Chains A and B, each alone.
Chain A
Amino acid sequence: AQKITQTQPGMFVQEKEAVTLDCTYDTSDPSYGLFWYKQPSSGEMIFLIYQGSYDQQNATEGRYSLNFQKARKSANLVISASQLGDSAMYFCAMRERTGGGADGLTFGKGTHLIIQP
């Protein structure tokens, strides 16, 4: 079973609209971290936002917010007032705990977001 599921392979959004990118995850570990990364065509993965499994509040970073619904195992990324520069691949990722510390990031397949003028 996939640990991270992103159900939207691609999305077209009008500039200045808000956009929600979906992410569901699967883990039996009570301690984990959820991340969103942006990958423009240059290839570099850019960190956007982090949510810890024990965090009570939804994370926010500027125009980015994370809609964390723990019981549903959902961690959707919300981008407010989208801009042309937001066009990129977006990846949801999870980090679980191992005996030695923390495991590597497990990524979803990504969502290709295109912002239209």
Chain B
Amino acid sequence: KAGVTQTPRYLIKTRGQQVTLSCSPISGHRSVSWYQQTPGQGLQFLFEYFSETQRNKGNFPGRFSGRQFSNSRSEMNVSTLELGDSALYLCASSLAGGATNEKLFFGSGTQLSVL
């Protein structure tokens, strides 16, 4: 079974631009969540999608948005990039995502650098 696939692996953007990151979950998984990892703030939860609906959201500004398609694939968008958005963005998938005991399976991440 293929794991969680994130594309692209690396991205370099400049301030003010926008960026879209893509995530394909494990086959059969319907929940996709996104996390931001920085050296200063560590790993922080961005949002979770299930059945094309955002179910949970972390404490991030509205510049961060996402969506999920009918095949469970998800995209995350960041508009008006700031230097502080430079981070590793990790996507995780799980079967349904609605239980505290559900394991999350992560991709290798997209490393975003904002210049």
A51 — nearest CB in chain B belongs to which residue? B101
Complex CA gap A4/B45 in Å reads 14
| Cβ contact of B58, chosen from A97, A104, A108, A110, cutoff 8 A | A104
Which of chain B's residues have a CB closer than 8 A to the CB of A45?
A: 90, 92, 104, 106
Which of chain A's residues have a CB closer than 8 A to the CB of B101?
A: 33, 50, 52, 95
Instruction: List A69-117 residues whose CB lies under 8 Å from chain B.
Output: 91, 93, 95-98, 100-110
Number of residues in B with C-beta < 8 Å to the partner? Answer: 29
Distance to closest chain B CB from A110 (angstroms) = 7
Please determine whether B42 and A110 come into contact, CB atoms closer than 8 angstroms.
yes
Which of chain B's residues have a CB closer than 8 A to the CB of A98?
A: 56
Which of chain B's residues have a CB closer than 8 A to the CB of A37?
A: 106
**Does B48 sit at the interface, judged by CB under 8 A?**
yes
Please determine whether B100 and A47 come into contact, CB atoms closer than 8 angstroms.
no
Which of chain A's residues have a CB closer than 8 A to the CB of B90?
A: 43, 45
Please determine whether B106 and A102 come into contact, CB atoms closer than 8 angstroms.
no
Complex CA gap A10/B55 in Å reads 35
| Cβ contact of A101, chosen from B58, B97, B108, B109, cutoff 8 A | B97
Number of residues in A with C-beta < 8 Å to the partner? Answer: 31
Please determine whether B33 and A104 come into contact, CB atoms closer than 8 angstroms.
yes
**Does B12 sit at the interface, judged by CB under 8 A?**
no
Instruction: List B66-113 residues whose CB lies under 8 Å from chain A.
Output: 88, 90, 92, 97-109, 111
- B residues neighboring A (CB under 8 Å): 33, 35, 42-48, 55-56, 58, 88, 90, 92, 97-109, 111
What are 22 A-B interface contacts by the 8 Å CB criterion? A35-B103, A43-B90, A43-B111, A44-B109, A45-B90, A46-B106, A47-B104, A50-B101, A95-B100, A95-B101, A97-B100, A98-B56, A101-B99, A102-B97, A102-B102, A104-B33, A104-B45, A104-B46, A105-B92, A107-B44, A109-B42, A110-B42
